[in-house]
Amino acid sequence: MHLEQQSPSLTLFGLPAQQGRWLLIPLGMTVLLCLGTVYSWSIFRKPLESLLNIGATESLLPYTVILVFYSLLMPITGFYIDRIGTRKLIALGGIILGIGYILSSFASNISTLTLTYGVIAGTGVGITYGVPMVVSSRWFPDQKGLAVGLTIIGFGLSPLVTAPLATQLITIYGIKQTFLILGLVFMITISLISLALKLPPKDWQPHSKNQSKVASIQAQIQSSNILKTRRFYGLWICYMIGSFVGLTAIGISSPVAQEIIQINPVLAASSVSLFALFNGLSRPLFGWLTDRFPAKYVATATYILILIACILMSHASQGQVATYLIAFCLFWFCLGGWLALAPTATLTLFQPENYAKNYGIVFTAYGIGALLGTVIAGRIRDIFGSYTYAFYPMAVVAMIGIVVATTTLKPETVPSSNL
């Protein structure tokens, strides 16, 4: 592949592009920080239950719907990034997200709230979510995993910032005004940041020691439709397994603490902040690792950590707080890792030029994992009477993941005569 030389006059934020590109990461991180407020939904549930006179099952409905629409829209958006442009897509998504929150402040029943928050705000999240990662991957062809991992950390760490903020706003202004304030803040913030998140010129490369390596790797990646490659299905299955285990663990973190370990609800709730920290910090780490080591080894490492966590929890009993904390830190750590590993592996295993479309397709695995993870754990609890039995299928699928990763997650290169 012929690579155009970097224009010496190309600048970002008044700096040479190679230095200015680093400022795009905190901007993308801030966008994802706003979007990640969906993971702070538990803060809204109790006030909404009192305000709308609804039960716990009904108060979970807007959250379930927003995850569905976020998962559905993100793959679709990938096909329109090059046609519409990153700035317009981010601004559009930010405006729709803001409108969803603002309209939620006027909702008088759970059905309306599910439409405004679940459908409309979820559409905004789905449209916007993948775009900052595309921007980072294009500006950092030499360090794509690290750049994507740092960008997406905003989504993972969002509850650490937005949950306390939302709590304070609800205490001072009430739940409806909080939706209105957040909607306006998110709309304005994301719209302003969208002005700066542009793509580099086609085939732009930084001057670095990795440049020839990047060109060599990209030249060897087969440019066929990813749906016709075995490694796509391997990556899809591995991502689905990582999402299934991680989202199952997230869904049962607090109930397991109270039912199996029998710690008080306040400590169980505060431990989630610790888990969220591990979930956020693992993203740049796994992005960096996937830059430097074959994806199959990094994926296998996550499954080994999951197996360790499952073994710990399958033997856990009342009072074993340390065991619980270690195991669930590992679960959340691996889920965050997969949210950086999967996009980086998509860049590594397939043509980077088609990243937005390719990762949109790969990301459907996350949606399936989320659906299975939220349904199966609850059913196991209902049937067997304990969440302990949920860790056995999680261990089994982790072992399947090891086999799939080691046999399929490797580039299929073009014969040298075709290069």
Q: What would the pLDDT profile of 161-191 be if each residue is shown by its tens digit?
A: 888 888 889 999 999 999 999 999 999 999 9
Cβ-contact 178, 166 below 8 angstroms: yes
> Residue 396 corresponds to which tokens in the numbers above?
């089994």
Q: Is the pLDDT of residue 97 over 80?
A: yes
**Judging by beta carbons within 10 Å of its beta carbon (0-12, 13-18, 19+), is residue 410 exposed, middle or buried?**
middle
Amino acid at 415: P
pTM: 0.80
Average pLDDT for residues 120-144, to the nearest whole number?
91
Cβ-contact 404, 237 below 8 angstroms: yes
Q: Which alpha helices (DSSP H) does 60-140 contain, by range? A: 61-77, 81-84, 86-104, 110-113, 122-129, 131-139
> Residue 166 corresponds to which tokens in the numbers above?
């939302």
Each residue's pLDDT tens digit, 233-253: 999 999 999 999 988 888 788
Q: Distance of CA 106 to CAs 13, 52, 92, 186, Å?
A: 40, 12, 22, 17
Q: Is the pLDDT of residue 217 over 80?
A: no
Q: Is the pLDDT of residue 270 over 80?
A: no
User: What gap in Å lies between CA 322 and CA 81, rounded to an integer?
Assistant: 45
Cβ-contact 130, 80 below 8 angstroms: no
Q: Hey, which residues does 16 pair with through a beta bridge?
A: 11
Choose among 2, 20, 23, 24: nearest CA to 11: 20
- Residues sharing a CB contact under 8 Å with residue 191, sequence separation 6 or more, in sequence order: 91, 94, 95
Q: Which residues of 306-331 are buried (b: 16+ CB within 10 A; e: fewer)?
A: bbebbebbeebeeebeebbbebbbbb
Q: Hey, which residues does 11 pair with through a beta bridge?
A: 16
Average pLDDT for residues 129-156, to the nearest whole number?
89
Cβ-contact 314, 387 below 8 angstroms: no
